Amino acid sequence: MNMHNQSISWRLHRDLKHLIDSGVAGQKLPSEPELSQQLGVSRATLREAMRTFEIQGKIRRRQGSGTFITSTPQVIESGLEVLESIQTIANRIGLEVKLGKWKAELRSPTIEEYKVLGIEPGGAVTDISRVIIAEDRPAAFLRDVLPAAILLPEDIEQDFRGSILDLLLERGAPQLSIARTDINAINASADIARALGIQRGDALLYFCADLYNPDRQIVDQSRSYFLPGYFNFHVVRRIGQNL
């Protein structure tokens, strides 16, 4: 990006932020043609900038209705030293979250799942995917894959709140010891974008976690996709010379 384009992008984001921050929740923004003319940019450039504010939770586009300013979302903030469910964190800060669309199915494992989950020949896995709603807005998409010998779809009761971690801890079996988690920023695939009501290619926080039992066997492969505007994760670290 050259300096001229950088200047246009900076000015556009500044002007959009001012427009959004000076409005009130529920207020409808001008249409794309009106707004692009008002801000002096192309509709394609405007649309790209609007996506940034949408994934931050500041605006919401409704198909056929327009773009609306939303109330500032309450951020779900947590350290990464201890693995906790979204529900546990939300309860601690007094934020109501609920389970959106979800599905649990029994299927054959992939070759990799056979290997890492220790599936016996002829065995199956339970695949659970779901959307977590915060403040009436999809905020995260979660997916867990476990050996069917550990959890069957019918084991998930009607009052399932969305956390497989909490469900396993309440059951007390299998015992869980540690979780290894890789954290990345990724672009939303078509299916994830559709589930979260965003655009394909929008930026997401991606947590790829493997949960282990005391024998160091993986018992759950957990994949989480978070909208950045709703989550703030941090790590508390000791200074090296004090170890």
Domain boundaries, the chain: 3-69, 76-234
Q: Which residue is listed with tokens 């605006």? A: 59
Residue in the block written with tokens 């492969």: 221
Q: What pLDDT does residue 210 have?
A: 97
| pLDDT for residue 48 | 80
* CA distances from residue 166 to 3, 71, 86, 171 in whole angstroms, order as listed: 50, 30, 10, 9
CA distance 74 to 164: 24
Helices (H), 68-171: 86-93, 111-116, 164-171
Report the pLDDT value the prediction gives residue 52, as an integer from 0 to 100. 78
SS3 61: strand
Specify whether the CB–CB gap between 172 and 114 falls below 8 A: no
CA atoms within 13 A on the CB side of 88: 13
Residues 240, 81, 133, CA angle at the centre, nearest 5°? 145
Q: Which residue has the tokens 């790590």?
A: 235
What's the predicted TM-score (pTM) here? 0.78
Amino acid identity at 198: I
Q: Give the Cα separation of 73 and 230 in Å (integer).
A: 6
Cβ neighbours of 78 (radius 10 Å): 19
In whole angstroms, how far apart are CA 117 and each of 83, 94, 138, 164, 235? 20, 36, 30, 16, 29
Measured CA to CA, the distance from residue 12 to residue 205 in angstroms comes to 25
Q: In the chain, what's the furthest Cα-to-Cα distance?
A: 63
Question: Is residue 61 a contact partner of residue 47, using CB atoms and an 8 Å limit?
Answer: no
Count CB atoms within 10 A of the CB of residue 158: 4
Q: Nearest CA to 150 among 198, 208, 211? A: 211
Third-level CATH fold of 76-234: Chorismate lyase (3.40.1410)
Per-residue pLDDT of the chain (243 residues; tens, 9 = 90+): 454 555 777 888 888 888 888 888 888 888 888 888 888 888 888 888 887 787 777 787 776 788 888 777 778 888 888 899 999 999 988 888 999 999 999 999 999 999 999 998 899 999 999 999 988 889 999 999 999 999 999 999 878 999 999 999 999 999 999 999 999 999 999 999 999 988 888 889 999 999 999 999 999 999 999 998 788 888 888 887 655
**116: which 2 tokens?**
């890492």
**Quick one: pLDDT at residue 1?**
47
Specify the CATH number of the domain 3-69: 1.10.10.10
Pairing of strands 125-134, 97-107: antiparallel
Quote the tokens at residue 184. 């990345």
- Phi and psi angles of residue 204, each rounded to the nearest 5 degrees, phi first: -135, 155
